[in-house]
Every structure is written in structure tokens, then in C-alpha cells.
């Protein structure tokens, strides 16, 4: 029974599925852990050293709410060079999750609708509910491609925003330039806010990354350093978009998160210039190791980005299949955490090659059951 003091908004959140897998991982002696959504490489040495120097240099107080100039100015210069939009401001946030909370609090009134694409990152539906909005789900099964006509049909007079994530968590699918352009143009045509979650933009293996901000200058972009530089615990993200929206997000940050951690911002300013291409190449190879190992037995769309695959369970529901995998020490995430469908499961190949290979062996055995 829920406690009598709890606010109704707490019912928007159910992390039991993912939390259970993580709890099991902590109890197992030798799990095959393909569940974790964070890089298996460490923060680059130069970035670590920059954080140490910032801490020892006394940069430990509150940061400016909008971000320290050492980082914010570099990010603004990079964004200006990429888009050259007349009205594009930037805010350094407490992680990309913090940016998502701020942008939805800024834009969405109770009763407003936000379009999300199924499968979706687990946080999207919950955060829309937290701010009083309603998620309108556009299905992309079975190939996880965006159908512009389905998107158009989902728009109503109450539609306030479209939330796009490419490369995608959980599918690893990268939207094509044509799909990105269509979403951007539809949002502009209907005067709907377009929020582009680009946290995995560096992890594109088969084609260059394309942002909808190229085609729609009103696009609100969310990005950060957690995935690209393995800085998940450092909580440094950023958002850029129309100045009036970013200004209100900055006010909300002042009254909620206050700021992103100052030492981590000095380190992130160094991270911008670190070449991560070697890690991207390694993850392309890990992708091929996983998909090549199970592709003949599973219906799986080859991921072109991020570090996830989203195979269809070869028998039973996605949840039933995951239970059987966990019984074999293989930790994966049931697909219904990310979807209205209980047909798939998520595998993270952000793991050592040996762990991926062990996971492949278990998955092959389970497929033949």
C-alpha cells in the first residue's frame, strides 16, 4: 500500500524492472552483465587530471547557474560553428537528465501532450507525467524507423512537444537524414517544440550524425559528457536552443539543481578536445561481435549507434525470456521497460569482449530451447 503522505506524481515512476536487475548484479559472484547503460572504458586521463587540478585549485564552490565560462564559452562556440543560428543560447545542466527535467518543466503545462517514439528511453514517459503532461506514443515497431505519417496522425491541438532520441536508447537505431528532416519540418509546420536528445551523438558507426537543428532552428538540443567520455557520475550536461526557453530553464535550474558541479565543468572543458575515435571504433567492433554472434537466431535490427541492441525474444514474452536469461547469470533488461510492447529485450554491449562472448553463448543456447 502506498504511504498516505505520498504525492500522486510519485506514481509516474516505476524503476522496479531495471533496479531488480542491478540488485541481482550486486548479489551474483560472476554475472554476465550486459545490462548497464554506461561505457566500460574509464574517464580519459587528461580529464581526470583536469578535475584534480580544479579541486586542488579551489574551484569547489557553487558554479554560475548558466555554467562556468571555461566550459560554456567553448560549447557556445562549437554550437555556433555547427548551426549559425541567430537565436541559440546554451545552459550547462546537472547531467542530461537534469536538462530533460528542466525543458519539460519549462514547456509542458498540465494536460499538454508530448509525442514520444516507442521504444523510448525509460525516463521520457515518467518525466512527462511528472510535469502533468500526457505521453502520446508513436509506434516504430518492427524496424524502429520513424514514419512521418504516423507522427502527423498523433498531433492534436494539445500537442506541445515532440521528444526525439537518435541514436536511440534502447534500440541503437540512428534515424536517417530523411527521417530527421521530416520530424523537424513537421514540428516547425505545427509550431510544436522539438526536443532532441543527442547524448549518444558521438556513437554513430555507419553514417555521420544528423541533428534536427540543421532543419529546424527552434530545436531544443540536449547533450552531455556522460556517455561520450564515461563521465556518468560527474553530472555535466548541456542544453541549447531559443534564448527565451533557455533563459527560463536557467531560472528553474537556479531554484532546483542550482548548478552543475564546478570541478566537473573544468574537466569537461578539457574533455571537449579529447579524441574519442578509438573508443568509437572499439564499440563498432563490439556491436559486430554481438550482432554477428546472435543474428542468425534472433530477429534483431542491427544498431547503427549508441551501445545497445534490442532483439525480439525468440519465444515467450520479453519478460519471460529475461527471467530465463537471469537464471543463467545473464543480466539483460526486459523490453517493456522501454515500450508498450513486451516482446523484446535490451542488451548493452558496453562491456569487455569476453563478457559479450559469454553473453552470446547463453543467448544462443536460450534461442534453441
What does the alpha-carbon distance between residue 78 and residue 30 come to, in Å, rounded to a whole number? 43
Q: What is the pLDDT of residue 17?
A: 64
What is the average pLDDT value for the chain, to the nearest integer? 95
* C-beta neighbour count of 45 within 10 angstroms: 9
- pLDDT, one tens digit per residue, over 353-364 is 999 999 999 999
Q: What's the Cα-to-Cα distance from 194 to each of 182, 184, 200, 202, 217, rounded to whole Å?
A: 12, 7, 17, 20, 10
Q: What's the whole-model pTM score?
A: 0.94
Domains annotated for the chain, with CATH where assigned, are: 8-43+276-367 (3.90.1150.10), 60-271 (3.40.640.10)
The answer to whether residue 172 scores a pLDDT higher than 90 is: yes
Residue-wise pLDDT tens digits, 244-275:
999 999 999 999 999 999 999 999 999 999 99
User: CA distances (Å), 87 to each of 33, 83, 100, 245, in order?
Assistant: 44, 10, 20, 11
Q: Please give the full DSSP string across 48-62, using - where no structure is assigned.
A: HHHHHHHHHTT--SP
In the chain the first and final C-alpha atoms are separated, in Å, by: 39
Which contiguous run of DSSP H or E holds residue 152? helix 148-154
pLDDT band per the 50, 70, 90 thresholds, residue 284: very high
Choose among 125, 114, 116, 99: nearest CA to 160: 114
Pairing of strands 220-224, 193-197: parallel
Asked if pLDDT for residue 168 goes beyond 80, the answer is yes
Residue 137 confidence (pLDDT) above 70: yes
Per DSSP, the three-state class of 304 is coil
Query: What integer is the mean pLDDT of 32-46?
Result: 93
For helices 262-271 and 69-83, the axis angle rounded to 10 degrees is 40
Strands (E), the chain: 32-33, 89-93, 113-118, 134-139, 159-165, 193-197, 220-224, 237-241, 308-309, 330-331, 333-334, 345-348
Cβ contacts of 3 within 8 Å, gap of 6 or more: none
Residues in the chain: 369
Q: Is the pLDDT of residue 243 over 80?
A: yes
Q: pLDDT-derived band of residue 30, with 50, 70 and 90 as boundaries?
A: confident
Amino acid at each position: 500500500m502506498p504511504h498516505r503522505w505520498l504525492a500522486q506524481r510519485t506514481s509516474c515512476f516505476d524503476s522496479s524492472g531495471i533496479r531488480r536487475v542491478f540488485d541481482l548484479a550486486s548479489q551474483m559472484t560472476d554475472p554476465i552483465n550486459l545490462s548497464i547503460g554506461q561505457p566500460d572504458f574509464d574517464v580519459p586521463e587528461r580529464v581526470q587530471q583536469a578535475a584534480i587540478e580544479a579541486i586542488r585549485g579551489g574551484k569547489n564552490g557553487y558554479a554560475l547557474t548558466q555554467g562556468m565560462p571555461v566550459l560554456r564559452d567553448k560549447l557556445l562556440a562549437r554550437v555556433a560553428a555547427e548551426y549559425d543560428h541567430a537565436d541559440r543560447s546554451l545552459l550547462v545542466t546537472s547531467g542530461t537528465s537534469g536538462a530533460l527535467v528542466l525543458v519539460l518543466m519549462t514547456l509542458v503545462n498540465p494536460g499538454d501532450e508530448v509525442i514520444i517514439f516507442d521504444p523510448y528511453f525509460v525516463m521520457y514517459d515518467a518525466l512527462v507525467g511528472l510535469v502533468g503532461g500526457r505521453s502520446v506514443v508513436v509506434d516504430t515497431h518492427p524496424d524502429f524507423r520513424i514514419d512521418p505519417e504516423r507522427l502527423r496522425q498523433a498531433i492534436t491541438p494539445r500537442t506541445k512537444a515532440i521528444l526525439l532520441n537518435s541514436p536511440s536508447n534502447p534500440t541503437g537505431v540512428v534515424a536517417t537524414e530523411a527521417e530527421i528532416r521530416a520530424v523537424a519540418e513537421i514540428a516547425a509546420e505545427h509550431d510544436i517544440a522539438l526536443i532532441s536528445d543527442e547524448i549518444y551523438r558521438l556513437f554513430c558507426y555507419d553514417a555521420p550524425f544528423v541533428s534536427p537543428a540543421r532543419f529546424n532552428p527552434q530545436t531544443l538540443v540536449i547533450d552531455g559528457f556522460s556517455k561520450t567520455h564515461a563521465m556518468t557520475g560527474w553530472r555535466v550536461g548541456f542544453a541549447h536552443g531559443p534564448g527565451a526557453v533557455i533563459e527560463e530553464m536557467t531560472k528553474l535550474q537556479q531554484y532546483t539543481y542550482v548548478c552543475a558541479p564546478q570541478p566537473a565543468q573544468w574537466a569537461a572543458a578539457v574533455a571537449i578536445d579529447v579524441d574519442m575515435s578509438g573508443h568509437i571504433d572499439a564499440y563498432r567492433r563490439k556491436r559486430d561481435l554481438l550482432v554477428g554472434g546472435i543474428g542468425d537466431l534472433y530477429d534483431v535490427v542491427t544498431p547503427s549507434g549508441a551501445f545497445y541492441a534490442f532483439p525480439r525474444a525468440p519465444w515467450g514474452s520479453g519478460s519471460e525470456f529475461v527471467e530465463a536469461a537471469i537464471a543463467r547469470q545473464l543480466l539483460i533488461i526486459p523490453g517493456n521497460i522501454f515500450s508498450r510492447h513486451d516482446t523484446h529485450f535490451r542488451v548493452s554491449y558496453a562491456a569487455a569482449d569476453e563478457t559479450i562472448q559469454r553473453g552470446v553463448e547463453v543467448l544462443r543456447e536460450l534461442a534453441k530451447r
